[in-house]
Amino acid sequence: MKLLHSIVVGAVLAATVAPAFAQEQFVALPSYRVGPYASGGSGFYGGIIDYFSLVNAAGGVNGVKIAWQECETEYNPSRGVECYERLKTQRGGATLVEPLSTSIAYGILDRIPQDKIPMTMLGYGRSDAANGKVFPYVFPLISSYWSQAAAMVKYLADKNGGSLKGKKIVHLYHDSAFGKEPLPVLEALAKQQGFELVKIPVAPPGSEQQAQWLQIRQARPDHVILWGWGVMNSVAIKTAQRNGFPREKILGVWWAGSEEDTVPSGDAAKGYTAMSFNTPGNYPVLDEIRTKLYKAGKGNLSDQARIGSVYHMRGVTAGILFVEAMRTAQEKFGKGKPVTGEQMRWGLEHLNIDAARQKAVGAANMFPTVKTSCEDHEGSGAVKVQQWDGKKWNAITPNWIVGDRALVKKLIDESSNKYAAEKNLKPACMP
């Protein structure tokens, strides 16, 4: 009864108390910390919040503190839309949103230009949203699926002495929008470079893959691209081991390249490679998070061992990009006061995080140089390949890999112009 009482009191308080939030930059975080993808969501949002807390502890962005609010979506599109609608008007209005879910992002895609709230899609979602003329408020920052697929082929070609002619590559994918997204790029590159592409779908969630791996063993491919998500990844790695398929030949998408995917597979994962848009390792910014936040009990993750894990670092990267966008926008629209959603959009479109800037925030070479423009909302497209040594991830490509940019750009233009035609939009850059 007491709990119920306090919940009711809390709800009433939350509804009635509306303090003034004048000097705050509000970010909406429709996150997920329960449900089938909780391990990814808690690490990613934990990373964003840790970085925000760190910035706030140092006085904010030119004195403007960052405020945020989470809302549990459980990775469910319907609840995600509800969360977005709830968060967008809080604390004077959200000026940035990151749902980390393709379905939720699609669900709010048409709402954000109306609400003038920019949305980032860090490493997922519509790849063609990189065209800022058609999608002015959408930012698939750092690298989209298409850039990643092109980079994967580039890496595999380099590994085979520069050419994939006559080789056989299996695309083992999660049978959903996410798994099918890279197909246009892979098919175009197969035709162009003369390798054979074998497409093998896995029905979600992918906890049974015996048939698929038998098929792979018969096909004798030179490489397997594992485009998996959640439980599918560790099952794939373990089934590959059982079928005697060398893990070194498997190249995972970046949602198949975290500790949560390899640790449950135990020894089977040793030698497994996956894509990443971070360089694994330790960085001054992570040390700061450890000392300034977690020592003081203000960290967001419950398990300190996860600091610097793949998902956490991805979240920290997102946090850095968001804060840099705020800084960029403030430089144009006036320092020391919060920017609006439209101004934030401008900031995201004019990001320039080069090596010097990365070093200044304590994240030198943690992620590729990001330089966005109206034509290119992705800003980079560069990725790395990492390998699991049984205990941790190590980068095995010292430099950032960039695939066939011209091809990706062509596909982006085709697809986004089709969208614009369907929606009666006039593609144009916003001032």
Partner 1 sequence: MFYREAGQFRTTYEADGQLLPIRQDRIALIATLAIAALAVPFLASPYMLSAILIPFLIFALAALGLNILTGYAGQLSLGTAAFMAVGAFASWNFVARIPGIPMLLAFVLGGLCAALVGIAFGLPSLRIRGFYLAAATLATQFFVIWCLTKISWLTGGSASGVITAQRIEIMGYVFDTPQRKYVLVLLVVALMALLAKNLVRSNVGRSWMAVRDMDMAAEVIGIRPMRTKLLAFAVSSFYCGVAGALYAFAYLGTVEPEAYSLDLSFRILFMIIIGGVGSILGSFLGAAFIVLLPVFLNIAAHGLALPTSVASNLELMVFGALIIFFLIVEPHGLARLWQIGKEKLRLWPFPH
Which amino acid, residue 238? K
Residue with tokens 């809390």: 10
Instruction: Give least dist CB 260 to partner 1, A.
Output: 16
CA pair distance 401, 385, nearest whole angstrom: 8
Q: Counting contacts by CB under 8 A, is residue 86 touching partner 1?
A: yes
CA pair distance 170, 390, nearest whole angstrom: 24
Which of these segments, 86-94, 129-137, 327-335, 346-354, binds partner 1 (CB under 8 A)? 86-94
Q: Counting contacts by CB under 8 A, is residue 13 touching partner 1?
A: yes
For 81-203, where are the E strands, in sequence order? Answer: 119-120, 138-139, 168-174, 196-202
CA dihedral 381, 382, 388, 392 (to 10 degrees): -100
Q: Which is nearer to partner 1, 14 or 406 (CB)?
A: 14
Q: Counting contacts by CB under 8 A, is residue 429 touching partner 1?
A: no
State which of residues 21, 56, 65, 76 lies at the interface with partner 1 (CB under 8 A).
76
- Please, which of residues 36-55 interact with partner 1 by CB under 8 A? 42, 45
- Please, which of residues 122-151 interact with partner 1 by CB under 8 A? 126
CA pair distance 183, 189, nearest whole angstrom: 10
Which of these segments, 6-14, 129-137, 152-160, 375-383, binds partner 1 (CB under 8 A)? 6-14
Q: Which is nearer to partner 1, 136 or 184 (CB)?
A: 184
Q: Counting contacts by CB under 8 A, is residue 110 touching partner 1?
A: yes
What is the number of H-type helices and E-type strands within the chain?
16, 13
Q: Which is nearer to partner 1, 71 or 366 (CB)?
A: 71
State which of residues 18, 161, 305, 422 lies at the interface with partner 1 (CB under 8 A).
422
Instruction: List the structure tokens of 247.
Output: 């893990």
Q: Counting contacts by CB under 8 A, is residue 72 touching partner 1?
A: yes
Q: Which is nearer to partner 1, 6 or 192 (CB)?
A: 6
Give me the phi and psi of 270, to 5 degrees please: -60, 125
Does residue 181 come out as left (phi exceeding 0), alpha (psi in the -120 to 50 range) or beta?
A: alpha
Q: Which helix (H) or strand (E) is 192 found in, with range? A: helix 183-193
Q: Which is nearer to partner 1, 146 or 388 (CB)?
A: 146
Q: Counting contacts by CB under 8 A, is residue 288 touching partner 1?
A: no
Q: Counting contacts by CB under 8 A, is residue 15 touching partner 1?
A: yes
Q: Does residue 271 contact residue 388 with C-beta atoms inside 8 Å? A: yes
Q: Counting contacts by CB under 8 A, is residue 180 touching partner 1?
A: yes
State which of residues 56, 113, 158, 175 lies at the interface with partner 1 (CB under 8 A).
175
Q: How many CB atoms lie within 10 A of CB 36?
A: 15
Q: Which is nearer to partner 1, 190 or 353 (CB)?
A: 190
Q: Counting contacts by CB under 8 A, is residue 85 touching partner 1?
A: yes
Instruction: Give, as one character, the DSSP assignment of residue 295.
Output: T
CA pair distance 382, 368, nearest whole angstrom: 6
Q: Does residue 245 contact residue 272 with C-beta atoms inside 8 Å? A: no
Which of these segments, 67-75, 218-226, 235-243, 313-321, binds partner 1 (CB under 8 A)? 67-75
State which of residues 1, 2, 5, 14 lies at the interface with partner 1 (CB under 8 A).
14
